[in-house]
Amino acid sequence: MKQQPTEACTDAFPFFESIRLQEGVFHLLPWHQARMERTITAHFEMESFPQMNDFLNTFNPPQKGCFKCRIKYGQSLEVPEIIPYRAKSIHSLHLVSANDLEYSFKSTHRQQLDALLTQRGNCDDVLIIKNGYVTDTSYCNIVFFDGKRWITPTRPLLEGVQRGFLIQKGIIHEAEISSEDLFRFQSFKLINAMLPWESAVEVPIRPFTFQP
Sign of CA dihedral 29, 32, 37, 38: positive
pLDDT (tens digit per residue) in 25-37: 999 999 999 999 9
pLDDT (tens digit per residue) in 40-91: 999 998 889 999 999 998 999 999 999 999 999 999 999 999 999 999 999 9
Where along the chain do the CATH 3.30.470.10 domains lie?
Answer: 8-84
Arch. (CATH architecture) of 8-84 = 2-Layer Sandwich (3.30)
pLDDT (tens digit per residue) in 137-160: 999 999 999 999 999 999 999 999
Q: DSSP H helical segments within 129-182, as ranges?
A: 161-169
pLDDT at 133: 98
Pairing relationship of beta strands 125-130 and 93-97 according to DSSP bridges: parallel
pLDDT at 147: 97
SS3 77: strand
Position 204 pLDDT exceeds 80: yes
* Local confidence band at 2 (pLDDT 50, 70, 90 cut-offs): very low
For residues 164 and 11, the model is more confident at 164
Residue 8's nearest CA partner among 158, 16, 165, 201 is 16
Where along the chain do the CATH 3.20.10.10 domains lie?
Answer: 93-211
Residue 137's nearest CA partner among 65, 189, 186 is 189
Burial (Cβ within 10 Å: 0-12, 13-18, ≥19) of residue 172: buried
Stated pTM of the model: 0.92
Position 128 pLDDT exceeds 50: yes
Position 10 pLDDT exceeds 80: no
Fold of 93-211: D-amino Acid Aminotransferase; Chain A, domain 2 (3.20.10)
